[in-house]
Amino acid sequence: MLNKNLKQDLEQIDSILKESGISRRDAFKMMGLGGAGLMLGGTEATAATTLKASDAKGKIVIVGGGLAGVATAAKLSNSLSNPDITVIEPNPNSVSYQPGNTLVASGIWTLDNITYETQDFMPSGVKWIKDKAIEFNPTANELKTAGGETIKYDYLVIAAGLVNDFGMIKGLEEVGEVYTLDKNDAAKAKKIIGQNGVGSIYFSEGAADTWTQMQKFVADAKAGKKVTGVFPEPHTPFKCGGAQKKVVNLTNARLEEAGARANADLQFLTNGKKLFGVPEYHTAIEDQMKARNVNVRYEHKFTAIDLTNKVAKFEKHWEVKGAWDADLEEFEMVTKTEAVDVKYDFCHIIPPQKAPTEIAKSPLGSEKGWVPVKNDTLQHVVYPNVFALGDIAAVPLGKTGGSARKQYSVVCQNLISLMEGKEMTAKYEGYTVCPLITNIGTVMLAEFKWKDVAAASGAVAAPSFPLDPTQERWLYWLLKVYLLKPMTMYGMLPGRA
C-alpha cells in the first residue's frame, strides 16, 4: 500500500510540475529540500542515509504514535544495531496527515487525502501496544496503560501531542476535550461543531464539516445576503500558528471565486498584539489582510460563543497608565477590559489547547502542563533518561510538523549518545515552518527559528533558500499541496527526511 500511494503521489507531482517545465529534482532543489527530494526520486536503497549502526542497548518506550513518535521509532530502528523499541498508541490512524486539514476545510482535498493506517508506517521490529499510557512513575522507570499493563523502560520518549479543549470556551462545554484523530471524540464534537455556521479544522472530521459550513456561507453571500465571518485565535499556545490566517484567506478566495466578496465582512480577532512573532512576517501578513479587506482586531480574548443567537464573545483588553511609582520612577500599567459581542454567520474555531491531563499532572509534567525539556537537547529537565518532542514539549515556538521534523533527529542523536555514555551534541535551534496559504494558488513560506538560540527566545526569519520569504509564491503552493505530504509520509515517517 505504501509504495502504491507513493507512486500515485509522485505521478501527480510530476504532472503538475511538467505543465510549468520544472523537473521534480529541480523543484526540490529550488525549495531547499535536499536529501528528502533525492529520496523521493530514487529507490529505498539509494534513499537510505548511510549510518554506522550503534551497538548501544536499552529498552526504549515511545508514548505517542503520531508523526513525531513513529518517525522517532523509525530513525532509532535505522540507527541501532539491536533496537528494543516499544510504541504506545491506541489510535489505528494516528499518522494521518494533519497539515492537510486546512485543504480539506476549503474543498481542495477530501478526508481520503489525509487518512492513513498507522500499521503501514510502523517500523519493522518495533513493538506496538495499542493502548493509552495513563500513569507515569519516572523514578521507577515505568508506566501503566489504561488496560492495566505495567511497562518498564530504560529510556522514555514522550510524543503524545496535545488535547483540544473546546470546553474552555463558554458555550462549548458539551464538546469538552477532543483529540484530533479520536473517532469517539469526533462523534461527540460533530453534534455541535460543523453545525449552524460553526466549524473547526482541529479534528479531521471537523475539517470536512468546515467545508460544508463554508460553502453555505459563500452561497448566502452569492444570493445577496450580507454575511459576517468571524475568525478568532485562542489565548493559549496552539499548534500551527498560521491556521486561522489560512482559513480566513481561503474563505476570502472562495468568496472571490463566487463573485460574492462584497457581501461578506471577514473579521480576524487575536488575543495578541501581533499577527506573527517575526516582525517582517507580521508586516507582510498585516498587509495581506488589508489587501483582502479583512478587519483585524488585536487584544481580543475569545471567551464564549452563543450558538443559538450566533454571537462570538470576546474580552477586549488594553493597558493604560496608572499611578506614578516613585521608587521605579515610572507609571504603573493597568489592564482594562471590555466585553465585545460579534454576530456571525460563519465562525471558525481554534480551541484552546493543552497537554493530556495524565501527562500534565504526572511527575513528568509542569505547572503549565507541557513536558519541561532543555530547549536545545530536548532532554527532560529532571529525568535525564526522558525526552519529549512535538506539540507536547515545553519549548518556545515548535508546534508544527516542520518543528517535529527537526526535533526528532535531535532526540534520536542525543538519546543514542546518552545510551553510549557520550556527550549530547545535537542541538535544536527552534526551527519552525508555516506554509501560510494566502490564496488558492499562492503560499507565503514562513520559516523561522529562535533569535537567541542560547536563551531560546525571540524569533527570526530562517529561509531555506535565497528568495524573499515574505512574498506569496505559486512555487510554495506546489510545496504545500503536492510535495510536503509525500515528503512527510515517505521521507520523515521512515526516519530519513
* pLDDT tens per residue, range 106-154: 999 999 999 999 999 999 999 999 999 999 999 999 999 999 999 999 9
Mean pLDDT of 332-342: 91
Region 276-303: mean pLDDT is 96
Distance of alpha carbon 419 from alpha carbon 54, whole angstroms: 9
| Inter-residue contact 269 to 231 (CB < 8 Å) | yes
9, pLDDT greater than 70: no
pLDDT recorded at residue 153: 98
Q: What is the pLDDT of residue 319?
A: 85
The verdict on 299 and 360 lying in the same domain is: no
From 353, 370, 391, the end of a domain falls on: 353
For every residue of the chain, which 3-state class applies, written as one string? Answer: CHHHHHHHHHHHHHHHHHHCCCCHHHHHHHCCCHHHHHHHHCCHHHHCCCCCCECCCCEEEEECCCHHHHHHHHHHHHHECCCEEEEECCCCCCCCCHHHHHHHHCCCCCHHHCCCCHHHCCCCCCEEECCCEEEEECCCCEEEECCCCEEECCEEEECCCCEEEHHHCECCCCCCEECCCCHHHHHHHCCCCCCCCEECCCCHHHHHHHHHHHHHHHHHHHCCCCEEEEEECCCCCCCCCCHHHHHHHHHHHHHHHCCCHHHEEEEEECCCCCCCCCHHHHHHHHHHHHHCCEEEECCEEEEEEECCCCEEEEEEEEEEEEEEECCCCEEEEEEEEEEEEEECCEEECCCCEECCHHHHCCCCCCCCCCECECCCCCEECCCCCEEECHHHECCCCCCCHHHHHHHHHHHHHHHHHHHCCCCCCCCCCCCEEEEEEEECCEEEEEEEECCECCCCECCEECCCCCCCCCCCEHHHHHHHHHHHHHHHHHHHCCCCC
156, three cell numbers: 522514555
Domain final residue, candidates 305, 328, 353: 353
Same-domain check for residues 208 and 319: yes
Number of folded domains that form the chain = 2
The parent domain of residue 183 ranges over 168-353
Q: Residues 413, 294: one domain? A: no
Distance CA 98, CA 477 (A): 17
User: What pTM does this model have?
Assistant: 0.89
Question: What CATH number does the domain containing 421 carry?
Answer: 3.50.50.60
Per-residue pLDDT tens over the stretch 42-77: 433 333 344 578 999 999 999 999 999 999 999 999
Q: Are residues 247 and 332 both part of a single domain? A: yes
pLDDT single digits (tens) 351-360: 999 999 999 9
For residues 412 and 378, is the Cβ–Cβ distance under 8 A?
A: no
Is residue 92 located within the same domain as residue 39? yes
Whether the per-residue pLDDT at 216 is higher than 60: the answer is yes
Q: Does 259 have pLDDT greater than 70?
A: yes
Tell me, yes or no, whether 146 and 40 share the same domain. Answer: yes
Residue that terminates a domain, selected from 353, 386, 420: 353
**Residues 34 and 158 occupy one common structural domain:** yes
% of the chain at pLDDT higher than 70:
90
Q: 467 pLDDT band (50/70/90 cuts)?
A: confident
pLDDT tens across 222-258, in order?
Answer: 999 999 999 999 998 889 989 999 999 999 999 999 9
Q: Do 92 and 202 share a domain, yes or no?
A: no
Residues 234 and 326 in one domain: yes
- Quickly tell me which residue has 527532560 as its cell: 380
**Average pLDDT, stretch 442-455?**
91
Confidence of residue 456 (pLDDT cuts 50, 70, 90): confident
pLDDT single digits (tens) 158-202: 999 999 999 999 999 999 999 988 889 999 999 999 999 999 999
Q: Is 455 exposed, middle or buried (0-12, 13-18, 19+ CB in 10 A)?
A: exposed
Residues 7 and 37 in one domain: yes
Q: For residue 41, what pLDDT is reported?
A: 41
Contact 154, 58 (CB under 8 A): yes
142 and 11 inside one domain: yes
| 174/308 same-domain check | yes
Residue 497 covered by a domain? no
Provide the pLDDT for residue 14: 66
pLDDT at 18: 64
Average pLDDT, the chain: 90
